[in-house]
Structure 1
Amino acid sequence: MKISFDVHLPFVLPYENGIKLVSAYPGAKYSLEFNTYDKAIIINNEMILEEKKCTVISVIVMPIEEFTKDVETDKILRDVVVNTINHLNVLFDALRIDQELNHIHNITIADFPMYIEMFIDEDESPYLYITKPQDIMSSEKKISKEYLMKSGSLMKLRDDHPQIFLVEKFYASAKSRLYREQFIEAIIDLQTSFEIFIRNTHHLILLKKGAKEEELKIASSIRFRKVIEKHIASEFNVKLDFSTSDTPIKDWYNKLYRIRNEIVHEGRVEISGYEAYEALDAYDSVRNYIADLLQNADYLNDTGKVDLSIFKKNNESGVDYETVINNLKEQGIIDKDLEFINFKNK
């Protein structure tokens, strides 16, 4: 089987037009032909800057029969797109290392248009492949005033309690990376979120017991594994041994923590979508499990939230928001009937 399609890059590569690069792997052969196209630069709704030259790569992929026999066309094309992105990113890594082309960045599925034309073998009619089906659905969603107010509250949380905010930031980043099929980065973000969550959990336990700032600093230096297996486990009288526990901690250890360590410490460079989504499920399960332990022990309120007042604020800005809003209204920057949002974290 031969599958061909074009990849329009948002930057230019230093290749002469028409040059080809051919690579062979156990699972497929790749042929890349480099040319240029004109990319328009938008300044505002009415003005378009003169077009700039960018690179378009005409890709031909020839996967081995073992990977395509009795497999649905949609799955074949999806695997081809994902593998091609990985292949191109290795090329971009090499160019940055060898030629110091720092304007070149790795691409994701988000850099592709909504649809791409893919030709299979010698068919004259292209297969219209949808690269981002979620974008079609999300374009119909409108953010209400209530949701915008919640976003403002989260922005304030980042200023006041960054250690709490970062748990959600890395978790949301991981899910976004899964959507863009950046599986390695998703694994790292998930584990980063969980490690901050565990540290926050340990601090919450200590603060509830009256710990002072110096005790919290000492606790922060305790090895991550020891925090879970000894300190949190003893607090709730549960067994949280990474490899033998019959709780969700064992799944998290096998499906997220070990894979993350293989990436960071052993140089693993390939993660399948199946493994990445299994890691997400393991993360959700273990975090919910620990949250249930906290709530059952009255560390959380009835809605499952922590009382943020127990944590020290990162800063006291002293900003009088009502005065700021009134000044902006007087200067005509915002409407006088604009509703004031009071950013408070509860």
Structure 2
Amino acid sequence: MENKELFSLNKKSFKNDFLPIYKQFGINPNKVFQTSFTLPFHLPFNGGTSVTMFVEDKIAFTATFNTLSSKNGYRAGVVSTEELVFENYKTIVELSLVFEQDAYDKKCMEDGEDLISNLFDICLERLNLFIRSYRIMTKDKLTHQVNLKMLEAIPLFRIVDTETWIEQMGACITHTNVQYEKKPLTNLDSDKVFHYANVIGNNLNPFILSQELILDAQRNYVEGFYKEAIINIQTSFEVFLRTLLTELYKAENKTSEEADEIYDAKGFIGVLKSQFHERLGGQWKIKDEDCKIGRWYSKCYKIRNSIIHGGLVPDYIQTEEAINATDEVVLEIFQLLKTKESTYPNISSFISVANM
């Protein structure tokens, strides 16, 4: 019994359906790298739609789109015994990179053990061009650019020789963002959670918002939304410092309006440079990357500005560095506050609870 083909670009279809297109680009492929993903949204191209793009000399990229429909059942909590069933639509996309032999050999030599990872990156970079074009042309707000963290955790791939159609199959772990069963909370921990909801509801801890923004940034990073992660982690730090200055002023019998005035007069960076060292000590030289505030300035603040003002699209390394640098400087500020606990007791209690 003949095995069913996993890919639409295959031994039977290659010669008549795909090879003539590649020859239009002056490419006579000998090697094909292929993978397939289910996108987290639906692109309504007709099933089997294929599009090919020139990559560089002797290399081309082909994407083939198909629709996956499934029935999702929903229950109204535990009060309904019957499911409400809705059709759910997503797009399966097949990604193929085709090479002439010498171009493939050169790629293998240049990339070494990073070859497969780099081939995935090229495929997603080209796929995102089509997604961006679709978004702009259709104004579909439910779609977005994708990266490996947003897709299947263990994608399959194959490398095929188009002369013999001998294939090398493989799989790789691209992320560990999968659902898992969490350890149940103890009754005591559950009671703490329920009690703290009253603290939040009554605005008894002014540092809650900055903590939520940190969690938002961490979730954005895990899900692959790097731009949003950096914006959120930087916003969390700005909110944290503004809240901190307000609470420091209150402890000194000053008003929150006075804190607002100093922010209006000096701006965020001016306040950072002038208001905290005299109260907490520590290093606050933003241009010195040997200290934590300097690393935050370089790895987070400047990157966020490049996103907002220059349209930078950050990668996962830049995002990880931004989050880590901010975590480190916040932890250092916590440690400085502990040394001033007798002067600012309320602030220390707020922060210790918010960071349990």
Is 1:189 the counterpart of 2:232 in the alignment? yes
Bigger Rg, structure 1 or 2 = 2
Equivalent in 51, 61, 64 of residue 30 of structure 1: 61
Q: What is the Cα deviation at residue 179 of structure 1?
A: 1.8
Is the alpha carbon distance of 1:128 and 1:150 closer, same or farther for their aligned partners in structure 2, counting shifts above 3 Å? farther
Equivalent in 77, 90, 94 of residue 58 of structure 1: 94
Q: Do the aligned partners of 1:262 and 1:268 also contact (CA within 8 Å) in 2? A: yes
Corresponding residue pairs, total? 309
Distance 2:355 2:65 in 1: 52
Is 1:293 the counterpart of 2:336 in the alignment? yes
Distance 1:82 1:142 in 2: 38
What letter matches 2:72 in structure 1? I
Distance 2:54 2:191 in 1: 52
Q: Encode CA deviations 1:151-208: one digit per residue, 9 max, x unaligned.
A: 4455444433385222111111222222223322222111111111111121121011
Distance 1:243 1:165 in 2: 29
Matches within 5 A, 1:246-257: 246-257=290-301
What's the counterpart of residue 159 of structure 2? 120
SS at match of 1:305: helix
Is 1:4 the counterpart of 2:43 in the alignment? no
Matches within 5 A, 1:165-176: 165-176=208-219
What's the counterpart of residue 231 of structure 1? 275
Q: Do the aligned partners of 1:40 and 1:51 also contact (CA within 8 Å) in 2? A: yes
Please, which runs of 5 or more residues in structure 1 have no aligned partner?
Answer: 310-343
Q: What is the Cα deviation at residue 116 of structure 1?
A: 2.6
Distance 1:94 1:150 in 2: 49
Q: Do the aligned partners of 1:163 and 1:196 also contact (CA within 8 Å) in 2? A: no
What letter matches 1:13 in structure 2? L
What letter matches 2:130 in structure 1? L
What letter matches 1:179 in structure 2? V
SS at match of 1:306: helix
Is the alpha carbon distance of 1:206 and 1:304 closer, same or farther for their aligned partners in structure 2, counting shifts above 3 Å? closer
Tell me the TM-score normalised to structure 1 length.
0.73
SS at match of 2:240: helix
What letter matches 2:134 in structure 1? L
Please, which runs of 5 or more residues in structure 2 have no aligned partner?
Answer: 1-30, 76-80
Is the alpha carbon distance of 1:264 and 1:146 closer, same or farther for their aligned partners in structure 2, counting shifts above 3 Å? farther
Distance 2:156 2:84 in 1: 26
Is 1:205 the counterpart of 2:251 in the alignment? no
What's the counterpart of residue 97 of structure 1? 136
Q: Do the aligned partners of 2:62 and 2:95 also contact (CA within 8 Å) in 1? A: yes
Of the structure 1 ranges 288-297 and 23-32, higher mean CA displacement relative to structure 2 is found in 23-32
Tell me the TM-score normalised to structure 2 length.
0.71
Q: What is the Cα deviation at residue 264 of structure 1?
A: 0.9
What's the counterpart of residue 326 of structure 1? none
Q: What is the Cα deviation at residue 238 of structure 1?
A: 4.6
Distance 2:88 2:177 in 1: 30
Q: Do the aligned partners of 1:117 and 1:128 also contact (CA within 8 Å) in 2? A: yes
SS at match of 1:115: coil
Distance 1:153 1:69 in 2: 60
Q: Do the aligned partners of 1:110 and 1:132 also contact (CA within 8 Å) in 2? A: yes
Distance 1:61 1:159 in 2: 54
Matches within 5 A, 1:152-171: 152-153=194-195, 155-161=197-203, 163-171=206-214
Q: Do the aligned partners of 1:255 and 1:275 also contact (CA within 8 Å) in 2? A: yes
Of the structure 1 ranges 125-134 and 221-230, higher mean CA displacement relative to structure 2 is found in 125-134
Distance 1:56 1:99 in 2: 19
What's the counterpart of residue 133 of structure 1? 176
SS at match of 1:121: strand
Distance 1:48 1:76 in 2: 46
Is 1:276 the counterpart of 2:319 in the alignment? yes
Q: What is the Cα deviation at residue 243 of structure 1?
A: 0.9
Q: What is the Cα deviation at residue 6 of structure 1?
A: 1.7
Identity over aligned pairs, percent: 20
SS at match of 1:135: coil
